[in-house]
Structures are given as C-alpha cells and as structure tokens.
Amino acid sequence: MNQEKIIRPINGYFILAITIALIISSIYFTFTTENPEHALLLIVAIILFKGFVLVNPNNSRVLLLFGKYIGSIKSNGLFWVNPLYSRRTVSLRASNFDSERLKVNDKLGNPIMISTILVWRVTNTYKASFDVDNYENFVRVQTDAAVRKLASMYPYDNFADEGHVEDITLRSSVNEVSEALEKEIDERLSIAGIEVLEARIGYLAYAQEIASAMLKRQQATAIVAARHKIVEGAVSMVEMALNELSKKNIVDLDDERKAAMVSNLMVILCGDKEASPVLNTGTLNQ
C-alpha cells in the first residue's frame, strides 16, 4: 500500500445511541437486579466510546492498525472505527508560509536578499504522513532551496552598459518569475502530497554591502538615459530651426554662423539651468 485510500467509516451517531443505551441499561439492571454481571455492559460501552472519531471541516484522520495503513477519513462529521486504530490528524486547509529573507547570489553574482510567500495545502494524506518525516518542515526546507535556485537563474536587473540584457529579471518580470517559482516548488513538494496554490516573491533587494553602490549605478543609468532623450530632442529642434530659417529665407547663414547658432541652441536646450540672454548691439560678427 503506497497510495491514499479514502474510507467511509460507520456513522458515529448510530453507535453513540447504542453506547448511551448500554450505559443506561448497565446502571439500571445493576441497581434493580443487584447482579454485578450487568456491569459488563458498561465495559462494552467504554470500549465502544474509544472508537469515536470526530473530523472537523477541512481536516482528515489517517488510521493505522499496529503500523499498517488502513485508510484516511476526509469527510467531516462523527464516525466510529475500530477502537484499536491509532489516528493521525492531517489538516487539509490552505496554509500560508512566509520564508525568511535569504542572502543569495543572482545570475550575475550580485548578492541579494530574497524571500517568498507560499500558499499550500495537503492533497494526499498518505504521502504527507509516511513519505516524509515532517511535511511542514519539508515545505520550509524545500521552499528555501527552490528560492535559492530561482535567484541564481535570473539577474536582479538589466545592465545594458555591460552587455547583460535579459528578457526576464527578478525585479521587473514579476509574473514570469512567480510562475517559475511556483512550478519549481510544486515539483519539489509533490513527493509529500502537497499542492502549491500560489508562490510569489515577498521581498527583493540588494544585499546591504552593495545596496548603496547599486543605487548610485541605477541613478547614473537613469541620468544617462534622460540626457540621451534630451540630446535627441535638441538635435531634432535645431535641425527643424535651421530648415525653417533656410526655407523661409529669413536669414542667410554661412557655415560659421550655423555652427555658432547650433552651439547656442544646444547649450540652451541641453543645459540644466535656464540660459541668460545676451543682447548684441553690434553686428553678427561682433
């Protein structure tokens, strides 16, 4: 027997009625007939009472007889089983697990801090009870192992300046990373009869020793990208200005004057501060 076996035991309410009847009969006949043999009915009632099993909603009971697996009760209610059966309670409720923050290296070797939030539940009571030692501890250990593996498969972020451009990163590709994490954990926990309902990254950041340097790097990358856009726009505006001046014959500019105009316009358009106008009272060459 290496698979889960669902059993439907005897209705507990029927046996409860018999047990109560035996107790009342034992007391009544013992005192009315003064025959101590009727006390045996009370012993039978006590034996029957030990066989009652109460199963709450989204819980199960695993039954064993001298180490042999008999079956699992997944229906909720009051039941009666062999009093010699030993019982284990296995919860079928969805459980939430927030892992500790782990320090691992991403695909580029950068140390990062990462944790995951996992929602799981037991679907196979036999595997959860007998294929692993402690299924709750098994969930914790295997989740940490899956997170470490996932972090090493993807970079924290893209760095185009070093030629490291990935389609999927830990920071920006939330859905893709969550799907990969869920699949990895589900494969690891299937041996314990556990189903993964949801897995996602709960915390993600650079390790403390490189966080400051990486922040400066991100800021520099953002500044360079912004400057690139500003220069592109400034060049387009200067080109448009020169074309309009030439097209409408407003002023005839030679190459030297065009270069001076381009220089002035680029300074005005690309500068961080507002330009201070200078009034020229002489000729264009002065």
Stated as kind and residue range, the H or E segment containing 194 is strand 194-206
Considering the domain architecture, whether residues 21 and 48 belong to the same structural domain is answered as: yes
Considering the domain architecture, whether residues 70 and 165 belong to the same structural domain is answered as: no
Residue 3 lies in a domain: no
Q: pLDDT at residue 138 above 90?
A: yes
For the ranges 168-172, 206-210, 253-257, the lowest mean pLDDT is seen at 253-257
Residue 133 lies in a domain: yes
User: What would the pLDDT profile of 56-100 be if each residue is shown by its tens digit?
Assistant: 998 999 999 998 999 999 999 999 999 999 999 999 999 998 888
Please state, for a pLDDT cut of 70, what percent of the chain lies above it: 78
Q: Report the C-alpha gap between 87 and 64 in whole angstroms.
A: 6
Q: Do 53 and 12 touch, CB atoms closer than 8 A?
A: yes
Q: Name the domain count of the chain.
A: 3
Stated as kind and residue range, the H or E segment containing 175 is helix 174-189
Last residue of a domain, one of 177, 206, 235: 206
Considering the domain architecture, whether residues 61 and 149 belong to the same structural domain is answered as: no
Q: Report the C-alpha gap between 164 and 220 in whole angstroms.
A: 17
Q: Residue 167: which domain range?
A: 96-206
Q: pLDDT at residue 283 above 60?
A: no
| 246 or 195, greater pLDDT | 195
Residue 83 lies in a domain: yes
Considering the domain architecture, whether residues 202 and 238 belong to the same structural domain is answered as: no
Q: Do 144 and 99 touch, CB atoms closer than 8 A?
A: yes
Residue 284 lies in a domain: no
If DSSP codes are grouped into helix, strand and coil, which group holds residue 137? helix
Considering the domain architecture, whether residues 83 and 100 belong to the same structural domain is answered as: no
Residue 282 lies in a domain: no
Grade residue 280 by pLDDT with cuts at 50, 70 and 90: low
The owner of tokens 């944790």 is 115
What is the rounded end-to-end Cα distance, in angstroms, of the chain? 102
User: What would the pLDDT profile of 21-52 be if each residue is shown by its tens digit?
Assistant: 888 888 777 777 766 676 788 888 888 888 89
Residue 4 lies in a domain: no
CA 89 to chain CA centroid, Å, is 27
Model pTM?
A: 0.67
